[in-house]
Structure 1
Amino acid sequence: MKTASSFLFLISAVLLIIISFLLSATSSTPTVLPLQLLSLLSIKSSIKDSSSSFLDWDPKPTFSKADFHDPIWCSWSGVRCDQNSPEITSLDLSRRNLTGFIPSEIKYLTSLVYLNLSGNSFLGPFPTAIFELSQLTTLDISHNIFTSTFPPGISKLKFLNVFDAYSNNFTGPLPPEFAHLRFLEWLNLGGSYFNGSIPASYGGLSRLKYLHLAGNALDGQIPGQLAYLTKLERMEIGYNTFSGGIPAEFPLLLNLKYLDIAGANLAGTLPQDIGNMTKLQNLLLFKNRITGEIPESLGKLEALEELDLSENQLTGTIPSDLYNLKELRELSLMANDLSGEIPQALGDLPNLASLRLWNNLLTGPLPQNLGSNEKLLQVDVSSNQLSGPIPPNLCHGNKLYKLILFSNKLGHELPASLTNCTSLVRLRIQNNFLNGSIPHGFGMLENLTFADFSNNNFSGEIPADFGNAVKLQYLNISQNAFGTSLPENIWNSTSLQIFSASSSRIIGSIPDFVGCRSIYEIELQDNNLNGSIPWTFGHCEKLLTLNLSRNSLTGIIPWEISTLPSITAIDLSRNFLTGTIPSNFQNCSTIESFDVSYNQLTGPIPSTGTIFPGLHSSSFIGNDGLCGEILAKPCAVDALSDGGIEVRQQQPRRTTGAIVWIMAAAFGIGLFVLVAGTRCFQTHYSRRFGGGDEETGPWKLTAFQRLNFTAEDVLECMSMTDKILGMGSTGTVYKAEMPGGEIIAVKKLWGKYKENIRRRRGVLAEVEVLGNVRHRNIVRLLGCCSNKECTMLLYEYMPNGNLDDLLHGKNKGENLVADWITRYKIALGVAQGICYLHHDCDPVIVHRDLKPSNILLDGEMEARVADFGVAKLIQTDESMSVIAGSYGYIAPEYGYTLQVDEKSDIYSFGVVLMEIVSGKRSVDSEFGEGNSIVDWVRSKIKVKDGVNQVLDNDVSASCASVREEMIQMLRISLLCTSRNPADRPSMRDVVLMLQQAKPKRKFPGNLVTVEADVLLDHKIVAEC
């Protein structure tokens, strides 16, 4: 802090000297010019930036009279001057990752017309000095974290035309002073904590065209005076908690094109004369409590493109007059109580792209012309009582990607035309009365990922092309009447993860499992399958759930099932299986459910290991030949020999081969260690006693932004520093102070890089890509310092250490991380950083070692993801040759597939969330031998009051609302750590869920609160 204060004092002194020089240089020069320079340099000294684009605000060392006629500041980034004078008229600092505060000196920019501060992290109360800029016409402060109530004084900006403050942390009532701005055309106060009612005086803004108040905590009735905004074209006031309904005066808004009052607790009925708003293009009133029928006058809105009245309490029928809406693209009336038939004329709408009517009481047939306009993208009419055939031309334009028709009474055969719909991604037609056979061709659709044909009356052959599907992940053909066998290639689909064909009258034997490497779940129960279980189960490396119960299977239980590394549930009950239970099951620590009841098994039930002692006897009943403690039936000493032989097909050959390979590998490793040790000793000896440095070559500094130091400065500092910040799997991190006073973190990577030039170039190429990463939640890589022997990575220094120390260190109770809002802020920051790597980088970057010790915290407790030592740039699906990551954070499937994808990071992030919520480490003796925090949490939530045992009592004891917020984050962590990678959300979805789970309280003092762009729960929660 002393260094920072001295630095600011030095800057101020330099500024005063420059200004004094300028004022004394000429008496004819107006003082306004140096004051503008002072203003810009004051702004620069008051903020912190994490990008290089703002660092060009540097004055010349000397000034002359020519500088006043052609001032240097007019060429600075974001600065624009008047064409006929050197006065600054525009200042644009948007989206530069800036933080800090705006100084009062900004008032010297007296000619400023345009000011944009959006997309940064400016904090604290809004600077009232901006109100002194009387010429302003545009002021954009959106997407910042300004706090407190909005200060008075905005009426001084008499010429203001645009004001945008979306997504800040303002509190208190909406400022009534905006009503005095007679030139105002654009007003956006959305996404903050404003409360109270909408001022009726806003209806006096006669020039207003855009009004956005959505996502606050507003209540009261919507003032009818807003109908006086006769020039208004767009109104967004949803996501609040209003009382009453839509004002009866609103149909007077004849120029309105966009109306959004969604999620606002509206009651009452829709205005009957709503059809008078003839210019309306978007009408969004979903997620309210609107009752009554849909007015017929809606048919007069001929310009309407989007109509969404979903999630209300509307009754009656869908008006037939909607056929007049020739521009309509999206019609959404889902989750109401609508009845009657869907007007057939809706199928003739020329621009209809989306039809969503699910969860109503609709009857009759679907419009048979639906899709004939060649523009249809999605149809969801599920959970109704529709009957009749599926329209044949739904995919006539080959654009349909989602067809959701489940839970109706649709009949007839499935249109064969759908097998040509190459755009189709999701097909859900389960729970209908469809008959005939499933047409061949669905397996050839190149984009189809989800197909559910279950609970219909399909019969005949199961299409063999399902085994050739490229992207199909989910296939359910259960509860049909096929009466045929499974295709021999059914497991060959490269992306298939879940296959369900239960209760479908399938006959014959189970096809060979070669090719099932991606499958997580197989359900074939309640069929007529016969023959033995294929021993090729070993190919199903990712299998989690296997259900073959209620068939006529014979033979033994293949030993290979017990070798599956992640199997959790096995049900082989009610078959005719013989032989013993393979003893290797007792070592299978992942199994949670195991049922072999009602077979013809013999021999002892394994009584050791982690699985069988915890199972119920019902898992083994119905097998007269089984014995063991679980059944309270003692076994004879020679039970195994009398009861049968445990068969391990081809196992001797495998075991022998494995032993040979192990011995060879051990010999090779020993030889390598011997050679490496000798070489290391020789190198160390030669260095210590002179020589050995000639081949290292000169040091090279690769900078990823402007640096004020050289490679020699780094080396000199490293030779003197003994401040070790930490050690990781890839190197040691030191704290180093450069000659100019800048503090950086230097990671010296383990090992040498002399051995292979191509490998070295690959490492430096990845480092260069990471060096171009620019995000506020990713630690900045400043540069790379290297020679032929050593590589050092240069990072920005994080003064608050890492999350692991704050969560689990000795002084845990004394630091800010004991506060839940701080923990939430850290969790959201990490999610945003990983989301950037997964979704905004090209190629995608997978971190692969996400854990609390790799999450650093800056001076404001902002999270920064660090340590990309084992990160991977992903361009196509690929696998690693070794496991990377830390024990306790590695996804379960990663250990045996070595598959590199984003889902591994998401699992690790889920573990981090569990640590944040519980305050416990990922691995602890409290969890039991071999268990991690994931296992412990899942066991706790199954018992009464177990959730409260998971929550960190240092935090959760503060108030009930905090406990609820912690439970919300715990739910997110459970999703992220799903055993099946397909069940884990994307990091983009995780960020959204975390934003929805944000705390409703403020930080103490000058700290800020984390705010989501769209508030989903606007109840004011008292501070704890």
Structure 2
Amino acid sequence: MASISVNLSLFITISTSLYATLSSPSVIEDLKNLHPPPDFNSTIYTNCFKIPSLRYCNSSSPMNLDEIFKSTIVASHLCNESKNPNCVESFPKVDLRNRPMIAPLYLSFTFFWKYCPLTILSIDLSNTSLKGNFPVDVLQCAQIRVLDLSRNELSGDVPVESFSPLTNLTVLNLSYNRFTESKISNAQFFKRFNSSSFLHSGLLPDQKKFRIKLVALLVGFPIFVILMIGWSAWLCLRRPDFLPRMLQKKHRFTPPMLRAATNGFSKKNLELKSEAVDIYKGTLRDGIKVRIEIYRDTISRENRRKLIEECKVLVRLRHKNIVQVLGWCNNRRLRAIVTEWVEGENVEMWLMGSNRPWKQRLRILMGVVEGVCYLEETWPEVGYDLRTNSVLLSDNLEPLISRFKVGDQNSSKRKIYKLGVFLLEIISNRRPQEEFEKGETGFIEHVRTHYPGNIQNLMDEKMKMTEVTFDQAKRAIGLGLMCTDQSNQQLSFSQIYDITSKVCNHKRSHPDRRKGNKQVQPR
């Protein structure tokens, strides 16, 4: 201890002559304005000659007299602040615990820790509200035996490598801080200290927290799995459109899906309302616009089963002149069929417009004939309601047959008859049910009465006819009368297609009519 006492005495001697005049509280604050006395240089060299082990004597860099001078001033003040009994003879500890106002100030004096007195064996900075990273400067006092930084708000990593020179350190307390967890359990240095040195420091896994996490995992994971299963089941039953496409059931819609598509069946989306059916315009989650027919009537379970079987057939229909059926909803509270949305009007509404040229009417007629022939040759079990108000028109005037019935008992003869009535309506722009007392029968009698002698009265007066178009219309009316003539053997669908093609100068080429091909690729 004698050498330590002399060491401190020589270190403090530098400042004793100044202490009387520089002992005011403002000295620490005014360090920037302090400068060493004229003979300070000789004093330093004298001290180094007597005790070469002094830190500033062994520095590899040139001596900084200003730093050494300021460090002696700080040492004098810090010795007193730490309540050492005799700062001239002894400076064994730095004790600033429970003093958050001045601890950060002394830690900021890097030059002091650089020339830390060799007599300091204990540093206590506990409960001083220190924040930020580990105060690495204090580790320059490599001779210390005790270091207490507990109960602060220090964070980040602990510089384990910087502890290597502290071979005398036997007591370390870093507990109650917020350091980053480190895998230090295998580090030989930290094995010198017991676990109390790192309580709630964040450095070592907190066993209590670990147990809580383990319990939470053991309890929470099954709950999470159950919730995920429940959520997946809910998606499958109510909103399968949120599932990956490969997991979705094709063509099946749920009430929540249709409700979402129509914005809660809002009035804005309601296109038609009747006693039996409501028609809504909707948009599916993938952006496809659809037509949703919701049926109000109540049917038996057996009829519901038949409806599903019918829909399974209808969704397989693929033709440019047939509205594509996308799927169905068969719920106890909601029964609906979903088809593609067609922007446009039906043929009846279109005919009410002005100046509908014969060329466009002929195009519509040809499209309807192609669609009907496709159904008859490929899906004979599918019936259809062929009326001017049930055939829709796309933006480019492509006709689309829109109403079907699987297992329809109507014979081919009856279907050809309906096609003939449709053809005559296209040419004459007349409404059989509204304008004739006997309905369709009266309408056909009216046509036969005027054909062929007074054929001009049968044609829509709004059409502007040429000699060529007049002849085409005449032949088309003749075809319509042959289709509606039930007294003799009727034409076949193939013959009707050939005659219509000749009237339209249409080449016989449409691959969708391949007989027996029920696996037609989607368009």
In the superposition, the TM-score normalised over structure 2's length comes to 0.46
Rg comparison, structure with higher value: 2
Higher helix share: 2
Higher strand share: 1
